[in-house]
Amino acid sequence: MSLVVMATGGTGGHIYPAVATARELMARGHEALLLGQRGGMEERVAAEQGLPFQGVDAGKLARSGQGRPDPRELLRAVRGVAEARAFLSRTRPGAVVGFGGFASLPGVLAAQSLGLPTVLHEQNARLGLTQRLAAGRARAVGTAYPKVVGLPEGKATMVGMPVREERLPRAEALARLGLRDGPLTLLVMGGSQGSLALNNAVPDVLRGIFGETGTSPEGPVQVLHSTGPRWLEEVAPRVADLPWYHAVGYTDAVAAWSASDLAITRAGTGTLAEAAFHGVPLVMVPLPESAENHQLHNALSVQGAGRGGWLSNQPWPGGWGRRC
């Protein structure tokens, strides 16, 4: 039995695949631990999932207005590498798996500096900056897509996207969410933190399509809209008069996917993989501010496989819908 460290953090798209991998490793008799930013979302998720966690400092390497990384963030990243190196020197894990995002960089670079085996998992259809910095010395790279922009041919193996392989019977999922059994169920989800653009646009568009009663030519409709906790107070009053429109700050993702017939989402790979696992068709709205526009590449890959349609980044409804 050996210890495997999951270097991850920042967003759910990086964290939940690490959680799923850790669970699988533990089921096979290994020890698993998450390493990420101290006080970050990954620390909270690790606690919720009952997984060991090691926090270090981490700095975002995004460029400033002058085209250079913020030196304060660089200092934090360097400090994080030193902290991770001290931890890994003591524990000597069998491997460190990097899941991308700025919070994974300290763990991966520290492991490589110590000569520990490192493996990378790239969730997106375009290689991120963190992964580019570590790919050269990684023992292996696994991807969620057949082709990843920025990775040379033969460098990686497509392994898919680790997700929570849990489903609920539809009736149970609807009951858990407080929804009716019978209407077409539409899920609106903007990722773990919600999406301001979807929150602003979707309620009015769906009101215009389905009216006050929530009906379509195919029958009644109901909507479950996960706004993100910080946006609920803004969205809920706008749909309070629509009995078929249910706005919540956060939802049980397994129940939501198990209950849904169609979803409007961003195009993070975690979301796309969960939709694929549950067999839910998508209307994808890529986040234009995603690093190197990777969500657009994700959406194009899914659309190319015939599994969804993507909407442009123009304000709804002027430009959105042209590619569905």
Asked if the bond preceding 203 is cis, omega within 30° of 0, the reply is no
pLDDT of the chain, 324 residues: tens digit per residue: 689 999 999 888 889 899 999 999 999 999 999 999 999 999 999 999 999 999 999 877 664 444 566 778 888 889 999 999 999 999 999 999 999 888 999 999 999 999 999 999 998 888 888 898 899 899 999 998 888 888 877 788 999 888 878 899 999 999 999 999 999 999 999 876 788 889 999 999 999 999 989 988 778 999 999 998 899 999 999 999 999 999 999 898 899 999 999 999 988 888 888 898 999 988 988 877 776 677 887 888 777 766 556 555 444 333 333 343
Annotated binding site: which residue ranges?
11-13, 124, 164, 192, 295
SS3 per residue for 136-187: CCCCEEEECCCCCECCCCCCCEECCCCCCCCCCCHHHHHHHHCCCCCCEEEE
The residue to which tokens 């539809």 are assigned: 170
Extract the tokens encoding 82: 């030193």
Query: Do 155 and 135 form a contact (C-beta atoms < 8 A)?
Result: yes
Phi, psi of 6 (to 5 degrees): -95, 110
Please enumerate in sequence order all residues whose Cβ is within 8 A of that of 13, keeping only pairs 6 or more positions apart, or say none: 123, 191, 192, 268, 269, 270, 271
What was the pLDDT predicted at 317? 39
Question: Candidates 3.40.50.720, 3.40.50.2000, 3.40.50.10140, 3.90.76.10; correct CATH number of 3-158?
Answer: 3.40.50.2000
Q: Do domains 3-158 and 170-310 have the same CATH topology?
A: yes
Give residue limits of the domains in the chain.
3-158, 170-310
**Beta-bridge partner residues of 7:** 35, 98
What was the pLDDT predicted at 126? 82
Annotated binding site for UDP-N-acetyl-alpha-D-glucosamine: which residue ranges?
11-13, 124, 164, 192, 295
Helix (H) or strand (E) holding 89: helix 71-91
The β-bridge relationship of strands 282-284 and 262-265 is parallel
Superfamily of domain 170-310: Glycogen Phosphorylase B; (3.40.50.2000)
- Helices 41-49, 12-27: axis angle to 10 degrees equals 30
pTM: 0.73
What was the pLDDT predicted at 64? 45
What was the pLDDT predicted at 291? 65
